[in-house]
Amino acid sequence: MKDIHQQKLSFDSLNAVQQSNCISQVNSDIADRSLSGTFMYLVVWFCIAYLIYMDNKGAVFTQWLLAVSAVITVSSIIRVAMIWLAKKYLAQAKVSQYCLIAGLTISSLSWGGMAACAFLDTPLSSQSDLILLATVGICAGGAISFSASRLFTWLFLSCMLVPILVVEIVFTQSMQIEIVMVVVVFFLGLLSATKNPHREYMSALISNFQLKEISNTDALTGVRNRRYFDVQLHEEVQRSKRNQYPISLLLVDIDHFKKVNDQYGHPVGDQCLINIAKCLSDSLHRVSDTMARYGGEEFGIILPNMSADRCIEFAEEIRQNIAVNPLKVREHNISMSISIGCYTINNMTKNVNPEQLISNADEALYRAKRLGRNRVEANFD
């Protein structure tokens, strides 16, 4: 644990998969926090509209209120739809983020535009102070909600407050310096106030990803461990059922590994395990493939969407590569071999489960060991 906290926790310290998962988690949190704010827009606006209507019930005022109410309501509906899409496509981090950005921009600009109109010669000007107070109040709550992402904080505050500044500086005949100062100070103050919450949120999130990575990694070989393997196999089986493609599983066992430990000692045996794990890991060229230390001197390889014939070819390539290349450990050149049990299932019915794959691959592995080791045996379904 101490080593983790001594590391520099930053987004760049994560690998590509972790970065994508990190963005997805931020998107999920932003989406969850956005819903209440969206409904708050509507509640606050209709309270303001009621006060304006009670002050003046003229036709012009009524038309303005109806028009602004329609814009804010429609933009809120769009934002809710974008939040729903963002949560639906969380697995696609960038798509999810774009949905949230689009919804936030439309919704916040509709409010920011309304607030800006309050400082022009419009029916809204009768409640300009109340609208400004409501705007900065919503900004305070929203900025904290969006503190998980500096991008969303900047975007939200800009859409809400910059239209007021533009109107005051460019379109009014006599600029109210006090309004400009309040908006600018509030804008910069909220950006500054949300810096530490953002840093603490990201630090906790990144630390969590790094701890999860450690919990899924075999301490000796540095590859995935049995815990991760079991979870990943379950997910790949479910994915294969949905998409109706085959899935192959390899169980790999190092032949006569006990003799290596007895002859050269456990430190050399450990290094042999590390080298073979690296060879197996380097043999995988698809992002979807998973290799893990299954236990002791056994490794498991999950190969989604791989046919039985290709699975056997792949296993044979791995076996030959290790058999013909002695491992160089310290001053020793150690010749080693592996036995591999393969199982491929093509008929992905509801009854298929991970235990079935492991049992059949294990049966093939023990057949390879009974038939003399240093060979590939396969089961098919």
Catalytic residues: 297
CA dihedral 151, 156, 161, 167 (to 10 degrees): 90
CA–CA dist 291, 248 (Å, integer): 12
Encode 121-140: b = buried (16+ Cβ within 10 Å), e = exposed: ebbbeebbebbbebbbebbe
> Beta strand pairing status for 332-334 and 327-329?
antiparallel
How far, rounded to the nearest angstrom, does the alpha carbon of residue 135 sit from its chain's CA centroid? 32
Token duo for residue 371:
């038939």
Closest CA to 37 of 192, 133, 160: 160
**Residue position matching structure tokens 């931020």:** 26
CA–CA dist 114, 126 (Å, integer): 13
CA–CA dist 88, 105 (Å, integer): 19
Q: How far apart are the first and last CA of the chain?
A: 45
